[in-house]
Each structure stands twice: as C-alpha cells, then as structure tokens.
C-alpha cells in the first residue's frame, strides 16, 4: 500500500525520500525514509490487525 507526500514545486527545505530530493508529489512506500532538512522519519504502514506498537 502506498500513500502520497503532497508537495508542489521544488521544496526549499531539503526534503528527501530515500536520500533523493523530491521535486513534487511523491509516492511513499512502507519503510521509506523521509528527511525534512536534518530530521529523519520513517513512513510505516500498519495493517488494521497489527498489535499496537510504542516507540520511545
């Protein structure tokens, strides 16, 4: 399953998906690494029947 990271035009803050700068709307896949400047996050798709997880 994929979701979309919405964006219009070239981002000005260095947003990257899988270390590649995005240049507009970008499809995200489970486990993709997203960078907003110096901040890294991971896109995780959980199935409805997955147990709740807590990350600290």
Q: What is the pLDDT of residue 15?
A: 87
Whether the per-residue pLDDT at 10 is higher than 80: the answer is: no
Extended beta strands in 1-56, E state: 2-5, 16-17, 20-21, 26-29, 33-36, 39-42
Give the closest residue to 13 by CA, choosing from 24, 21, 4. 21
Q: In Å, what is the CA distance from 16 to each residue of 24, 32, 50, 51, 53?
A: 11, 10, 28, 30, 26
Q: What is the pLDDT of residue 38?
A: 87
Whether the per-residue pLDDT at 18 is higher than 60: the answer is: yes
pTM for this structure?
Answer: 0.66
Q: What is the pLDDT of residue 27?
A: 86
Q: Over the stretch 24-54, which tens digit does the pLDDT of each residue have?
A: 888 888 899 999 888 999 988 877 777 766 6
Give the closest residue to 31 by CA, choosing from 20, 42, 47, 16. 42
């Amino acid at each position: 399953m994929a979701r979309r990271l919405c964006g219009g035009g070239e981002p000005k803050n260095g947003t990257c998906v899988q270390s590649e700068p995005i240049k507009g709307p970008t499809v995200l896949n489970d486990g993709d690494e997203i960078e907003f400047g110096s901040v890294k996050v991971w896109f995780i798709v959980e199935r409805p029947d997955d147990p709740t997880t807590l990350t600290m």
